[in-house]
Structure 1
């Protein structure tokens, strides 16, 4: 099936896993961890065909499991060693992550990449991130030495140049219980993403990219969180900006679905990870 407006419904179904984790007690935590079977395997050794491990970086209010129930198995099935982390946790707020100061989250990513490199014996990783997870790694690349350890960064609907606070609050309906968990607070992980914030001004000063890293941005014109969607695109000498609707005009996925369920976006991410063997991405990619 193509990810049409049903993409929004499927996003809500995936988000339901968050509710289970929050309401089912300690047993839910074990189930939450068990769903990563096939990825986060630190005994995995990258193959000659796919010599770099892939680190998946979740978005705001997501976590390293639920955000990747679609893409992680997709990449594992194609022979990649795949890893994902939780970052940006707030005290007293379980499951809903990506809320802490983004500079601190970037340090968490840095530490995690070092763990992955040490475990796999590789020199570099590739990173695929959704929403904040596609933007935050740029801080790691630019200020924390990440450029020497990362080959490619693929952003799925990344808020590279920020969005409005109103746009960020549109995420809440996709994550039942999130508003209650935050209890009226306004975490820095949200305010850092507002266009014109001190964090974003620092991140984007002097150019969007750093040398030596291959950048891909996959955006959707139906993005209701990062607006305008064109603000997701990067400028640089090694950047590929992709609009889903140019690949498949029938794809109506919005901000959340592009990272959770959209196999057209997944196919384009896989192309970015292995450009030497890329194949055309079109509407048929939704079922391939």
Structure 2
């Protein structure tokens, strides 16, 4: 059994992990002043849970092969099983994923842009990013994550509120990360709604001057038919009734439907804005964003990637994609195109990940 490329890479200057309930410590300086209200709502005690999957065990075994700076490197376990991570993490939405939200982190010359991770609808930062956050931290990035759009800060299902309001939450968080790290721009990696919502921030809230790259995993950029259910609802004259109920509790869900007013406005006059590079990573087995081609963007500064073009053995669907080692390698390459890693090819099952 070989080692996948992303497990062999390590950080050259990783910082100590941050506990979100203790901003004022000798090792971690206070968060930026402008985000104090936001963070007080999100503050919670951090517990440490580490479950070393076979893939993570392989990463640890391989770590000694490529020591970049052994004194500074931190080898955090990287899970590749969505179902396992969701089971353990969904009920603790306030806990940042391992490797994220160390407000003392300073970007390195190799990775000058902090990475902000944005979860999908009905998910949270803890259950969505148990793979990407430690992987990015292991590779030397300053990593940050937030919850947005929840009915309450404690709600396990975040990302249900009006997407325009969530974009304003993102705007405040980006400014906080920039102030804390000293970086002029950030990179954003999002999954599902978390990969589409930033486009509103870029287009309407001044984000284009503060974001270098947007990497999206299975975004509903042009809406979803929910495997044809929206069209069936129209034919049965039920869609309006269902949407009225959803709008009362989860407007983000109707905003992501094909031909919604929100998406028509977002995509008017083009999918992209100048100055930002976009990468879309999609899977043809997506059961949430349908058709999967709805994820793809048009524009001169866009790279559209379908994971099965890199590996036909990858059966990742919408949920597993943010844990998929193939998609995550493509993510690393999108963030650092000057130093591309070989993309592995291995059998990846829906929901449960690689078969090793």
TM-score if structure 1 supplies the norm length? 0.83
1:136 maps onto 2:197 in alignment: yes
Contact conserved, 2:315 with 2:347, CA < 8 A, in 1?
Answer: no
- Partner in structure 2 of residue 242 of structure 1: 305
Contact conserved, 1:244 with 1:251, CA < 8 A, in 2?
Answer: yes
- Partner in structure 2 of residue 156 of structure 1: 217
Aligned residue pairs, count: 258
Query: Aligned equivalents of 2:145 and 2:279: distance in 1?
Result: 19
Q: 1:40 to 1:202 in 2, by over 3 A?
A: same
Query: Aligned equivalents of 1:186 and 1:249: distance in 2?
Result: 39
- Partner in structure 2 of residue 175 of structure 1: none
Q: 1:168 to 1:264 in 2, by over 3 A?
A: farther
Name the structure, 1 or 2, with higher relative contact order (CA <8 Å, separation 6+): 1
Deviates further, 270-279 or 185-194:
185-194
Contact conserved, 1:60 with 1:97, CA < 8 A, in 2?
Answer: yes
1:228 maps onto 2:291 in alignment: yes
Q: 1:168 to 1:54 in 2, by over 3 A?
A: farther
Query: Aligned equivalents of 1:215 and 1:94: distance in 2?
Result: 30
- Partner in structure 1 of residue 165 of structure 2: 104
- Partner in structure 1 of residue 269 of structure 2: 206
Query: Aligned equivalents of 2:112 and 2:329: distance in 1?
Result: 19
Q: 1:80 to 1:92 in 2, by over 3 A?
A: closer
- Partner in structure 1 of residue 36 of structure 2: none
Query: Aligned equivalents of 2:181 and 2:229: distance in 1?
Result: 36
Q: Which runs of 5+ in 2 are unaligned?
A: 5-79, 231-244, 349-353
Displacement of 1:36 after TM fit?
3.1
Q: Deviations over 1:117-138 (max 9, x none)?
A: 0000010000000000010000
SS in structure 2 at match of 1:275: coil
Q: 1:183 to 1:129 in 2, by over 3 A?
A: closer
Query: Aligned equivalents of 1:158 and 1:192: distance in 2?
Result: 13
Displacement of 1:10 after TM fit?
3.1
TM-score if structure 2 supplies the norm length? 0.68
- Partner in structure 2 of residue 265 of structure 1: 327
Displacement of 1:93 after TM fit?
6.8
- Partner in structure 2 of residue 177 of structure 1: none
State which structure, 1 or 2, has the greater radius of gyration over its C-alpha atoms: 2
SS in structure 2 at match of 1:65: helix
Displacement of 1:89 after TM fit?
1.0
1:219 maps onto 2:267 in alignment: no
